[in-house]
Structure 1
Amino acid sequence: MTVATPASHGSSAPRPVVRTAAGALRGSREAGVAVFRGIPFAEPPVGALRFAAPLPVRGWSGVREAVAYGPPPPQAGLFGMDALARDAAGDDWLTVNVWSPEADRGAGLPVMVWVQGGGYAFGTSGLPEYDGGRLAREGGVVVVTFNYRVGIEGFAQIEGAPANRGLLDQVAALRWVRDNIGAFGGDPGRVTVFGQSAGGGSIAALLSMDRAEGLFRRAVVQSMPGTFFSPELAEDISAACAAELGLRPTVGDLSGVAPHRLPAAGDAVGAKSGQWNGRWGRAAHRGILFSPVVDGEVLAATPWQAVSAGAARGVELLVGHTRDEHRLFAAVDGLLGAVDEEQAGSALDVFAPGQDGARRYREAFPAAGPEELYERVHSDWLFRMPTLHLAEAHAAAGGCTYAYELTWPAPGMGGALGACHGLDVPLVLGTLDRGQPAALIGTPPSPEAEELSGRMRAAWTAFAAEGDPGWPAYDTRQRLVRLFDTRPAVAPYPEDASRRIWENHPFSPMPLRQ
Structure 2
Amino acid sequence: MSATAAGSSAASSIAGVSSSSSAPEVRVVGGALRGTLESGVAVFRGVPFAAAPVGALRLAAPQPAGSWDGVRPAQAYGPPPPQSDVLGGGPSSQGVVGGDPAGGDWLTVNVFTPEPDPAARLPVLVWIHGGAYTIGASDRPEYDGGHLARDGQVVVVTFNYRVGMEGFAQIAGAPPNRGLLDQVAALEWVRENIAVFGGDPDLVTVFGESAGGGSVAALLAMPRAVGLFRRAIAQSVQGTYFSTELAADIAAACAGELGLRPTVADLAATDPDLLVVAGDSIAATLAERAGRWGRPAHRSVLFAPVVDGEVLASTPWQAVAAGAGRGVDLLVGHTRDEQRLFTAMAGQLGQVSAEQAAVALRDFAPGPDGARRYRDAYPDAGPAELYELVLSDWSFRMPTLHLAEAQIAGGGQVHLYELTWRAPGLGGALGACHGLDVPLVFGNLSSGQPAMLLGEVPSAQAVALSARMRAAWTTFAAQGDPGWPAYDPDRRRTQIFDASPEVAAYPEEKSRLIWLTHSFSILPLVGT
Q: Distance between the aligned counterparts of 1:249 and 1:161, measured in 2?
A: 10
Give the Cα separation in 1 of the matches to 2:298 and 2:118.
52
Q: Find the counterpart in structure 1 of residue 349 from structure 2.
A: 336
Amino acid at match of 1:490: V
CA 1:14–1:441: 2 relative to 1, 3 Å: closer
Aligned residue identity for 1:403: L
The aligned counterpart of 1:178 is: 191
User: Is residue 169–residue 176 contact of structure 2 (8 Å, CA) maintained in 1?
Assistant: yes
Query: CA separation in 1, counterparts of 2:44 and 2:266?
Result: 37
CA contact (8 A) 1:74 1:82 kept: no
Partner of 1:434: 447
22, 27, 35: which one pairs with 2:35? Answer: 27
Q: Which residue of 2 aligns with 1:48?
A: 56
Shift of 1:437: 2.3
Amino acid at match of 1:153: E
Deviations 1:368-409 (A, max 9, x none): 111100000000000000000000110222211000000001
In the alignment, the residues of structure 1 paired with residue 523 and residue 242 of structure 2 have an alpha-carbon distance, to the nearest angstrom, of 5
SS in 2 for 1:39: strand
In the alignment, which residue of structure 2 is the partner of 1:420? 433
Partners of 1:29 and 1:286 lie apart in 2 by: 43
Structure 2 segments unaligned to the other structure (5+ residues): 1-18, 97-101
Q: What amino acid maps onto 2:512 in structure 1?
A: R
Q: Which residue of 2 aligns with 1:510?
A: 523
Q: Secondary structure at the match of 1:80?
A: coil
- Superposition TM-score, scaled by structure 1 size: 0.96
RMSD of aligned residue pairs (Cα, Å)? 1.3
Closer, same or farther: CA 295–247 of 1 in aligned 2, 3 Å: same
Q: Provide the rounded CA distance (Å) in 2 between the counterparts of 1:14 and 1:426.
A: 27
Distance 1:82 1:454 in 2: 37
CA contact (8 A) 1:203 1:219 kept: yes
Q: Distance in 2 between matches of 1:301 and 1:189?
A: 27
Residue 450 of structure 1 pairs with residue 463 of structure 2: yes
Query: 2: CA distance between counterparts of 1:128 and 1:14?
Result: 22
CA 74–238 in structure 1, closer or farther in 2 if over 3 Å, else same: same
Note the 1:273-288 alignment, pairs <5 A.
273-288=286-301
Structure 1 match to 2:15: none
Alignment of 1:290-329 (within 5 A): 290-329=303-342
For residues 145-181 of structure 1, the C-alpha deviation after alignment (integer angstroms, 9 at most, x for no partner) is 0000000000000000000000000000000000000
Paired letter, 1:29: L
Equivalent AA in structure 2 for residue 47 of structure 1: G
How far 1:498 sits from its partner (Å)?
0.5
Deviation of the 1:12 alpha carbon: 7.6
In the TM superposition, what whole-angstrom CA distance separates every residue of 1:118-148 from its partner, at most 9, and x where no partner exists?
0000000011110000100010000000000
Q: Equivalents in 2 of 1:181, 1:90: separation in Å?
A: 26
Deviation at 1:87, TM superposition (A): 9.4
2:153 aligns with one of 123, 127, 140: 140
1:215 aligns with 2:228: yes
Structure 1 CA distance for aligned equivalents of residues 458 and 20 of structure 2: 31
Query: Following superposition of structure 1 onto structure 2, how do residues 403-418 of structure 1 map, counting pairs within 5 Å?
Result: 403-418=416-431
Letter aligned with residue 370 of structure 1: P
- Name 2:475's counterpart in structure 1: 462
Runs of 4+ in 1 over 6 A off after TM superposition: none
Structure 1: any 5+ residue segments left out of the alignment? 1-10
Q: Alignment partner of 1:450: what SS? A: helix
What amino acid is aligned across from residue 58 of structure 1 in structure 2?
A: G
Q: Residue 114 of structure 1 is aligned with which of 104, 120, 127?
A: 127
After the TM superposition, which residues 323-402 of structure 1 pair with which residues of structure 2 at under 5 Å, given as runs? 323-402=336-415
Q: How far did residue 79 of structure 1 move?
A: 3.4
Query: What does residue 80 of structure 1 align with?
Result: 88
User: Partner of 2:272: helix, strand, or coil?
Assistant: coil
Matches of 2:488 and 2:81 in 1, distance apart?
40
* Alpha-carbon distance in 1 for matches of 2:236, 2:492: 18
Alignment of 1:172-251 (within 5 A): 172-251=185-264
Structure 1 partner of 2:164: 151
Alignment pair present for 1:271 and 2:279: no
2:290/2:298 contact within 8 Å kept: yes
| Equivalent residue letter for 2:38 | E
Task: Work out which of the residue numbers 41, 46, 64 in structure 2 matches 1:38.
Answer: 46
TM-score (norm: length of structure 2): 0.94
Q: Distance in 2 between matches of 1:277 and 1:31?
A: 50
CA contact (8 A) 1:279 1:512 kept: yes
* Residue number in structure 2 paired with 1:259: 272
Q: Paired residues, what number?
A: 504
CA contact (8 A) 2:61 2:181 kept: yes
Give the drift of 1:287.
Answer: 1.3
- 2: distance between equivalents of 1:409 and 1:19? 45
CA distance in 2, matches of 1:292, 1:32: 38
Give the deviation of 1:365 after TM superposition. 0.6
Calculate percent identity across the aligned residue pairs: 67
Is the Cα contact below 8 Å between 2:231 and 2:480 reproduced in 1?
yes
Report if the CA contact (8 A) 2:95-2:273 is conserved. no
1:64 to 62, 67, 72: 72
Q: Distance in 2 between matches of 1:81 and 1:183?
A: 40
Instruction: Return the offset for 1:350.
Output: 0.3
Q: Which residue of 2 aligns with 1:4?
A: none
Letter in 2 for 1:27: G
| 3-state SS of paired residue (1:260) | helix
CA distance in 1, matches of 2:417, 2:251: 36
